[in-house]
Amino acid sequence: MEPRHPLGQHGRVSLPSDNPVLNAVGLKFPADGSVLRGAHLAVGEREAVAVLGEAGSGKSALLALLCGMLEPASGSLWANGRPLHALPAEQRQSFFRRQFGVLPQDCRILPELTVAENVALPLRLAGMRAKQAIERSRIWLERFEIEDYASSLAAGLTKPVLRRAALARALVADPVVLLADEPLLGLAVQTAEATARILRSIAVSHGTAVVVFTRDPMTAAYFSRTVKLTGGRTDAQPASPPPVAVPLLAPGGEGAGAQLGLPLGPAR
């Protein structure tokens, strides 16, 4: 049943999954912990989780750490059973590219391409033939109920359509983890409900761990579990058994805000 009232969700205790696909333990950024100081997040297969936090609570930093844009000063990150914190930088980036889908808040769609071509782009870059990639992208466009725009140039389409197209693009390569920053921002209530329903159903049908970052309790209420992020700390407990925290390379410390200002997907 669809969650209708956000308050009911807030009272729920955040429980880590037993077998997390994504497991972040004690992430700290930068070295002095001024942005994040010990964030835990465990998301299981087929789970759709919302990370709820006010502006400045460290959501963007957590998202950037989880998708490999930034490196934590300390803490550990496991994804799909692999200790990402222990991998060399190149392997880690390669893993993020293949296994993670990211929807930044400031998502961009290429206006020169049609919506279907935009969605098919990750598949084409992975070596799939154009026709096959377009066919597969149409399946995702149908799921997000924007198949009517498949052949339209992205230039001139409304933001809600482009946002759903960006979601379809993030999911078309069937990532293990989807990280979405405010995916329902700017959508009408009905469209937001439908999109949230699709995200939850994708989590179940594809086994994708969906993590939505938001500051809106109404948005968080659409998802099965809410993890609160306050002052750089999550209210979640580290998943058991907790991996040993391995200190990583110090990312430089200063200028985190400036780095986070870049709404980029994971760099290849």
Partner 1 sequence: MSPGNARIEAEPENSRVPTLLWLAWRFLPPLDRRDRRVLGCVALACAYLAVPLTIGLAADHVPGVTLLSLLCLSAPALPLWWWSAVPLGARRRETALALRQARINTRSAAATSISRQLAYPALGAIIGTVLILGLHRPLAHALPRHAPLETALRHSEGHWLSAAAIAVVVLVALTAALSSERSAELYARFRRFTARLDRREAAPQPQ
User: Which residues bind to partner 1, rule: CB under 8 A?
Assistant: 97-98, 102, 104, 107-113, 118, 121-127, 135-136, 139-140, 143, 153, 155, 166, 169, 171-176, 205-206, 263-268
Q: Do strands 177-181 and 74-79 pair parallel, antiparallel, or not at all (unpaired)?
A: unpaired
* Gyration radius (Cα) of the chain, Å: 18
Work out how close the CB of 208 gets to partner 1 at its nearest, in angstroms, rounded to a whole number.
Answer: 9
Work out how close the CB of 265 gets to partner 1 at its nearest, in angstroms, rounded to a whole number.
Answer: 4
C-beta of residue 51 within 8 angstroms of C-beta of residue 214: yes
Work out how close the CB of 259 gets to partner 1 at its nearest, in angstroms, rounded to a whole number.
Answer: 14
CB proximity list for 28: less than 8 A, separation 6 or greater: 36, 37, 38, 39, 72, 73, 74, 75
Residue 246 or 267: the one with the smaller Cβ distance to partner 1 is 267
Residue 97 or 225: the one with the smaller Cβ distance to partner 1 is 97
Work out how close the CB of 268 gets to partner 1 at its nearest, in angstroms, rounded to a whole number.
Answer: 3
Residue 168 or 229: the one with the smaller Cβ distance to partner 1 is 168
Work out how close the CB of 238 gets to partner 1 at its nearest, in angstroms, rounded to a whole number.
Answer: 28
Residue 13 or 268: the one with the smaller Cβ distance to partner 1 is 268
Work out how close the CB of 96 gets to partner 1 at its nearest, in angstroms, rounded to a whole number.
Answer: 10
What is the spatial distance between Cα 204 and Cα 220, in angstroms, rounded to a whole number?
18
Work out how close the CB of 173 gets to partner 1 at its nearest, in angstroms, rounded to a whole number.
Answer: 5
What is the spatial distance between Cα 42 and Cα 211, in angstroms, rounded to a whole number?
10
Residue 25 or 173: the one with the smaller Cβ distance to partner 1 is 173
User: Which secondary-structure segment (H or E) carries 39?
Assistant: strand 36-44
Residue 4 or 108: the one with the smaller Cβ distance to partner 1 is 108
Ordered strands of the 20-29 beta sheet = 36-44, 20-29, 74-79, 82-83
Residue 37 or 174: the one with the smaller Cβ distance to partner 1 is 174
C-beta of residue 47 within 8 angstroms of C-beta of residue 14: no
For residue 82, report the phi and psi dihedrals to the nearest 5 degrees.
-110, 135
What is the spatial distance between Cα 113 and Cα 167, in angstroms, rounded to a whole number?
16
